[in-house]
């Protein structure tokens, strides 16, 4: 739990992973169970109501899984983007890696309320893009394949960074697992 120090403290990860993410998984499983029951009873009203919980908690689980997977301790190479197809694509779309980071930082810091910041791949335009999603909405619902995600819910940073969301995002760049992001990019463009 302290592997991502000092960017993410042991306490931050313990609460974020151990409490918040875990709760989404539990609530998702509960909702899926209730959905099965409502389906069996052909209770459409309840199915529609339960769908909301499936969407919210299911999105919470999927997005958090992507988040943890794209983080890596500094000592194990976190934050280092090697030369390769992803770096080239970022430079093509945003001029430089630094400019992309600045743009995604300000976009994500400016999101009103809880949600996520993303570097994604747009299948339609066949190019990289930066977007935010509200709550736990999935980028795929907008036709964007998720490559890199930043959790900007207050629970992701408030214990350490208090109201300074942009400081948290700037620090997070030093623990991004770019190998994972590049693998996602290769898969998206294959
Ligand atoms: Mn979170």
Both tokens assigned to 28? 């998702």
Q: Answer yes or no: is 2 within a domain.
A: no
CA–centroid distance, residue 26 to ligand 1 (Å): 15
Query: What are the pLDDT digits (tens) for 96-111?
Result: 999 999 999 999 999 9
Mean per-residue pLDDT of the chain: 97
CA 140 to chain centre: 12
CA–centroid distance, residue 61 to ligand 1 (Å): 9
* 125 and 180 belong to one structural domain: yes
CA–centroid distance, residue 79 to ligand 1 (Å): 20
When pLDDT is cut at 50, 70 and 90, the band that residue 1 belongs to is: confident
Q: Answer yes or no: is 46 within a domain.
A: yes
Helix or strand run (H / E) with residue 65: helix 44-69
Whether the pLDDT of residue 71 is over 90: the answer is yes
**Average of pLDDT values for 7-16?**
97
What is the Cα–Cα distance from 134 to 3, expressed in whole angstroms?
Answer: 28
Write out the residue range of the structural domain in which residue 139 sits.
75-189
* 49 and 79 belong to one structural domain: no
- Report CA Rg, the chain: 18
Three-state DSSP state, 96: coil
pLDDT at 186: 97
Tell me the pairing of strands 127-134 and 115-122.
Answer: antiparallel
pTM: 0.96
């Amino acid at each position: 739990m302290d592997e991502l120090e000092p960017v993410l403290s042991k306490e931050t990860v313990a609460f974020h992973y151990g409490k918040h993410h875990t709760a989404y998984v539990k609530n998702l499983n509960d909702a899926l169970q209730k959905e099965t029951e409502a389906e069996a009873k052909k209770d459409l009203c309840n199915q529609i109501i339960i769908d909301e919980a499936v969407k919210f908690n299911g999105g919470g689980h999927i997005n958090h899984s992507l988040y943890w997977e794209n983080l890596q301790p500094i000592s194990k190479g976190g934050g280092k983007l090697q030369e390769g197809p992803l770096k080239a694509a970022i430079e093509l779309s945003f001029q430089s890696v630094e400019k992309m980071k600045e743009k995604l930082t300000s976009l994500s810091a400016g999101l009103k309320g809880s949600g996520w910041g993303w570097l994604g791949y747009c299948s339609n335009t066949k190019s990289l893009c930066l977007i935010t999603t509200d709550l736990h909405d999935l980028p795929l619902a907008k036709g964007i394949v998720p490559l890199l995600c930043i959790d900007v819910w207050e629970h992701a940073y408030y214990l350490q960074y208090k109201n300074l969301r942009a400081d948290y995002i700037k620090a997070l760049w030093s623990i991004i697992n770019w190998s994972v992001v590049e693998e996602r990019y290769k898969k998206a463009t294959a």
